[in-house]
Chains A and B, each alone.
Chain A
Amino acid sequence: MSFLHLAILLPFMAAILIPLFYKQLKHIHTGWFVLVVPVILFVYFFQKIGPVSKGLNDYSTANWIPSLGIQFTVYADGLSLLFALLISGIGALVVLYSIYYLSKEKEELHKFYVYLLLFMGAMLGVVLSDNLVVLYTFWELTSLSSFLLIGYWHTREKSRYGAVKSMLITVFGGLSMLGGIILLYLITGTFSVREMVIQAAVIMEHPLFLAALILFLLGAFTKSAQFPFYIWLPDAMEAPTPVSAYLHSATMVKAGIYLTARFTPVFGLAPEWFWLVGGIGILTLAWGSFNAIKQTDLKAILAFSTVSQLGLIMSLLGAGAAALHFESLDDNLFTVAAVAAIFHLINHATFKGSLFMAAGIIDHETGTRDIRRLGGLMNFMPITFTIALIGAFSMAGIPPFNGFLSKEMFFTGMVNLLEFDLFNADTWGILFPVLAWVGSVFTFIYSMIIVFKPFTGKLQAEKLEKKPHEAPLGMLISPVILASLVILFGIFPNILAASIIEPAAASIYPFLLEDGEKFHVHISHWHGFSPELYMTIGVIVLGAILYATQSKWKRLFKLFPEKLTLNRLYDQSLHGLESGSEKIQKFYMTGFLRNYLGIIFIFTAALTGWALFAQSAFSFKAESNAPIGTYEVVLAVLMTAGVVTILFAKSRLTSIIALGSVGYGVALFFVLFRAPDLALTQLVIETITTALFLLCFYYLPELQKREKLAFKVNNLLISLGVGTVVTLIALSANSQRVSKTISEYFIENSYKEAGGKNMVNVILVDFRGFDTLFEITVLGIAALGIFAMVKLRMSRKEQS
């Protein structure tokens, strides 16, 4: 155990205590107690920046299930630390914001903060774990706590729908990831990420490699809302706004990004990785930004913009994998992509967090988030407007905000791909910069919608539920801090470079560095007249024109058929799965015993018959058989006559009598085959059974068909099949005896050992007395059961 372990476990421990505080200290908002946790964590992780940027990574192990190679191993390098700082830092700001956002009187705060702390601890566990099984455990905990948080207002139907949807999709991905983890374990024999990175070459050549890669990416893509799994994120916007800001913009959706970055050194050399991560990422960017424009709900716009920005980061990670094909850092054009990914990750967390909080403020102070009802809020909410302006301009990539810098680096990374000459990137690679540019134009447009639609224009006071006014100071603190960071990182980007980005990039490219060598990242505002600059200018110009003329072309979105959306596909397939399984169940669960018996008999006959045939087990040898005497033949004819009578009897009474005669025939067979005890028992039992049948016969209701049983071909075939197969098995088994019987032992020893001359009885009570004991038990249970059935039914009748 180390402090790092404690840091992961601290939120869980706090989560246990929070309901206590909530119950005992009613007058203080519970959030204040919660706030302590992320602040402590942030301070702890902050002071780790120094050692980690010098390359001193923290590593420690605690025993969990050592016999299975599952250890609670924590590992803090640049990448983990970056995420841990994001989680604890934005966590603190979100808790602060939620104190003013959620009402102490109206909300069940203890639940909210328990879920939130669970999520925070789980997320820290995901980014700091080195053992993949532990990572998976925390990964599912994030899914679970996210489910609870989305469904926080559980009385609303839409919240529940969104929660279930996100749960289904992320757990689907999580389970795929577990499959990938197990495959990787089969390949490498370890669950440790660091050891897998060392064995990257072994993994690449293994036949299970591709399956492991795809399963892993399924996990990462579902969590990070990549195409086509992004559909849960817009529906997750039913969560309280602090949750949306925290989980669905800054942290949880970046768990997939973290995983992709973490496994770049393992899988990155494969062309599938480059094309899947890069291609899906860039597709998500364009698709998400395109869809964001048609939304009318502020949070829905932000959700689609999150999808699109995550696609951007993902595509950069894909492009960054190209750098692994070079031996060193010199002249390596492609490392810039991974650096841009890290940088944009930080930037996105800052500006998207502030935008969500601004949207939450608008919702809180006006009662709506619909941009068609909002307008002219600038004069009422100047501070919120400033925050939204900074956030949205940064998202659009306008200088001097930090989004501009990462967008420039994004374009650089994408343009550099044109010079990558592996995996057909020299031909198809042109798609990357083109889609990136188109996506950026759409990004610009929706960013402008977010700022200008609610804040400028005319105030539609009659459509608003409340009279708009500026938010309370406490609610503004967090977004103001985030917006200040946007500006700070925008103007002085290099304070991040050496402290955080360089060690994080070093963990993505562990092999590119020689001993003692460090990444050198320098982010500059001015690159000279490069293609990126023209692309940015193009984005701003075209975006501005399109924004100004949007009323003319927005009708295009209406042409897009609603039936072809992925949401519809999800709903339809869910419904299809439900009705399909219901149909299957209705098909074979008919409720009729005869159908089940038919199925059982068909399978018995078919499987054993097939097994006989497949093993060619037929064998009929008559030489060891005893000669057949006249008595046996006559008796067999008699019994056959009885059986046939049962089958074709017109009345039940005939069947019962014929059955009795068959039983007596069996008794006579026992006589013939020299089994006096069996014959005695058989006779008595047969008589009693026949009497019992007659008893049942008497109580049968009047309404029953006296005529011949309906003849069914299916039943005939099934019964013939079962009879044939059983006969064949009996004959084959009899002619293939492998060993002698053990009856010699009983013959020799029944008098010597047990002192009895009746061998059957000696076996029953001496040699194998246990069977007899339990058969006696069976009879006792049957007797008691009959008594209970008769008695209890009577008493129930009396009660009613």
Chain B
Amino acid sequence: MFDIVMRISLLILAVSTLMYFYRLVKGPTVPDRVVALDAIGINLIGMTAVISVVLKTNSFLEVILLLGILAFIGTVAFSKFLEKGEIIENDRNQ
């Protein structure tokens, strides 16, 4: 029973990721894609957590934390890029 629930939730996560993928591919604007990517990252966190439960291991908890940080940093970086055209501001560039 538990296993089936886990599988169903994983399936739902996968379907939602696929739909985010559709958004990622289709666009139409770049911010749409960035948001989709961010959501995919969060979905990945969920999937990793579910898989850890299925595999009965706690080795992947670091992965979950890291994904959270990276998804945040990545989205911020993208946003800054879209806003200013560059990620790390440098005096030399101005």
Q: Which A residues are closer than 8 A to B by beta carbons?
A: 630-631, 634-635, 637-638, 641-642, 645, 653-654, 657-658, 660-661, 664, 667-668, 671-672, 674, 676, 679-680, 683-684, 687, 690-691, 694-695, 698
- Among residues of A, the one whose C-beta sits closest to the C-beta of B88 is A695
- Among residues of B, the one whose C-beta sits closest to the C-beta of A645 is B25
Please determine whether A653 and B60 come into contact, CB atoms closer than 8 angstroms.
no
Please determine whether A661 and B62 come into contact, CB atoms closer than 8 angstroms.
no
Beyond A638-B21, A654-B25, A683-B70, whether A695 also contacts B60 by CB under 8 A is no
- Among residues of A, the one whose C-beta sits closest to the C-beta of B81 is A694
Please determine whether B48 and A671 come into contact, CB atoms closer than 8 angstroms.
yes
Beyond A657-B33, A676-B59, A679-B60, whether A664 also contacts B41 by CB under 8 A is yes
Please determine whether A671 and B60 come into contact, CB atoms closer than 8 angstroms.
yes
Beyond A657-B37, A664-B44, A684-B70, whether A676 also contacts B62 by CB under 8 A is yes
**Max chain B C-beta neighbours (<10 A), residue from A642, A672, A674, A676:** A676
Residues of B near A653 (CB, < 8 A) are 30, 33
Apart from A676-B59, A695-B87, list 4 A-B contacts with CB within 8 A: A630-B7, A637-B18, A683-B66, A683-B70
Task: List 23 A–B pairs whose Cβ atoms lie within 8 Å, in order of A's numbering.
Answer: A630-B10, A634-B10, A634-B11, A634-B14, A638-B21, A645-B24, A657-B33, A660-B37, A660-B74, A661-B37, A664-B40, A668-B48, A671-B48, A671-B60, A674-B59, A676-B60, A676-B62, A676-B63, A684-B66, A684-B70, A691-B74, A691-B87, A698-B86
Residues of A near B60 (CB, < 8 A) are 671, 676, 679
**Max chain B C-beta neighbours (<10 A), residue from A642, A653, A683:** A683
Question: B1 on the interface (CB 8 Å rule)?
Answer: no
Query: Once the chains are docked, how many angstroms separate the CA of A580 from the CA of B57?
Result: 68
Please determine whether A641 and B66 come into contact, CB atoms closer than 8 angstroms.
no
Query: Once the chains are docked, how many angstroms separate the CA of A683 from the CA of B57?
Result: 19
Residues of A near B33 (CB, < 8 A) are 653-654, 657
- Among residues of A, the one whose C-beta sits closest to the C-beta of B36 is A657
Residues of B near A687 (CB, < 8 A) are 70, 73-74
Please determine whether A671 and B51 come into contact, CB atoms closer than 8 angstroms.
yes
Q: How far is the CB of B92 from chain A (nearest CB, A)?
A: 9
- Among residues of B, the one whose C-beta sits closest to the C-beta of A681 is B66
Query: Once the chains are docked, how many angstroms separate the CA of A544 from the CA of B13?
Result: 113
Within 8 A of A (CB), among B8-44: 10-11, 14, 17-18, 21, 24-25, 27, 30, 33-34, 37, 40-41, 44
Q: How far is the CB of A676 from chain B (nearest CB, A)?
A: 4
Query: Once the chains are docked, how many angstroms separate the CA of A687 from the CA of B87?
Result: 13
Q: How far is the CB of B50 from chain A (nearest CB, A)?
A: 9
Q: Which B residues are closer than 8 A to A by beta carbons?
A: 7, 10-11, 14, 17-18, 21, 24-25, 27, 30, 33-34, 37, 40-41, 44, 47-48, 51-52, 55, 57, 59-60, 62-63, 66-67, 70, 73-74, 77-78, 81, 85-87
Beyond A638-B18, A654-B25, A654-B33, whether A674 also contacts B7 by CB under 8 A is no
Please determine whether A661 and B66 come into contact, CB atoms closer than 8 angstroms.
no
Query: Once the chains are docked, how many angstroms separate the CA of A671 from the CA of B47?
Result: 10
Interface residue from B11, B25, B30, B55 paired with A658 (Cβ < 8 Å): B25
Please determine whether B70 and A698 come into contact, CB atoms closer than 8 angstroms.
no
Please determine whether B37 and A641 come into contact, CB atoms closer than 8 angstroms.
no
Residues of A near B47 (CB, < 8 A) are 668, 671
Please determine whether A698 and B62 come into contact, CB atoms closer than 8 angstroms.
no
- Among residues of A, the one whose C-beta sits closest to the C-beta of B15 is A634
Query: Once the chains are docked, how many angstroms separate the CA of A771 from the CA of B18?
Result: 39
Please determine whether B25 and A683 come into contact, CB atoms closer than 8 angstroms.
no
Q: How far is the CB of A4 from chain B (nearest CB, A)?
A: 79
Interface residue from B10, B52, B62 paired with A631 (Cβ < 8 Å): B10
Query: Once the chains are docked, how many angstroms separate the CA of A354 from the CA of B45?
Result: 102
Query: Once the chains are docked, how many angstroms separate the CA of A668 from the CA of B66?
Result: 13
- Among residues of B, the one whose C-beta sits closest to the C-beta of A697 is B81
Residues of B near A635 (CB, < 8 A) are 14
Residues of A near B27 (CB, < 8 A) are 654
Beyond A658-B25, A664-B40, whether A680 also contacts B62 by CB under 8 A is yes
Please determine whether A672 and B66 come into contact, CB atoms closer than 8 angstroms.
no
Residues of B near A645 (CB, < 8 A) are 21, 24-25
Please determine whether B51 and A672 come into contact, CB atoms closer than 8 angstroms.
yes
Beyond A638-B17, A638-B21, A657-B37, whether A668 also contacts B77 by CB under 8 A is no
Q: How far is the CB of A160 from chain B (nearest CB, A)?
A: 56
Residues of A near B48 (CB, < 8 A) are 668, 671
Interface residue from B7, B10, B24 paired with A661 (Cβ < 8 Å): B24
Interface residue from B10, B21, B34, B63 paired with A642 (Cβ < 8 Å): B21
Query: Once the chains are docked, how many angstroms separate the CA of A638 from the CA of B66?
Result: 21
Residues of B near A654 (CB, < 8 A) are 25, 27, 33
- Among residues of A, the one whose C-beta sits closest to the C-beta of B48 is A671
- Among residues of A, the one whose C-beta sits closest to the C-beta of B64 is A671
Residues of A near B59 (CB, < 8 A) are 674, 676
Residues of A near B57 (CB, < 8 A) are 674
Residues of B near A631 (CB, < 8 A) are 10, 51
Query: Once the chains are docked, how many angstroms separate the CA of A642 from the CA of B22?
Result: 10
Please determine whether B51 and A641 come into contact, CB atoms closer than 8 angstroms.
no
- Among residues of B, the one whose C-beta sits closest to the C-beta of A695 is B87
Residues of A near B67 (CB, < 8 A) are 683
Please determine whether B63 and A683 come into contact, CB atoms closer than 8 angstroms.
yes
Please determine whether B24 and A691 come into contact, CB atoms closer than 8 angstroms.
no
Interface residue from B21, B55, B66, B77 paired with A680 (Cβ < 8 Å): B66
Residues of B near A674 (CB, < 8 A) are 55, 57, 59
- Among residues of A, the one whose C-beta sits closest to the C-beta of B77 is A691
Please determine whether B44 and A668 come into contact, CB atoms closer than 8 angstroms.
yes
Query: Once the chains are docked, how many angstroms separate the CA of A674 from the CA of B55?
Result: 9
**Max chain A C-beta neighbours (<10 A), residue from B33, B55, B57, B85:** B33
Interface residue from A634, A676, A698 paired with B85 (Cβ < 8 Å): A698
Beyond A634-B11, A694-B87, whether A658 also contacts B81 by CB under 8 A is no
Interface residue from B7, B37, B63, B74 paired with A679 (Cβ < 8 Å): B63
Residues of A near B81 (CB, < 8 A) are 694, 698
Query: Once the chains are docked, how many angstroms separate the CA of A558 from the CA of B86?
Result: 82
Residues of B near A671 (CB, < 8 A) are 47-48, 51-52, 60, 63
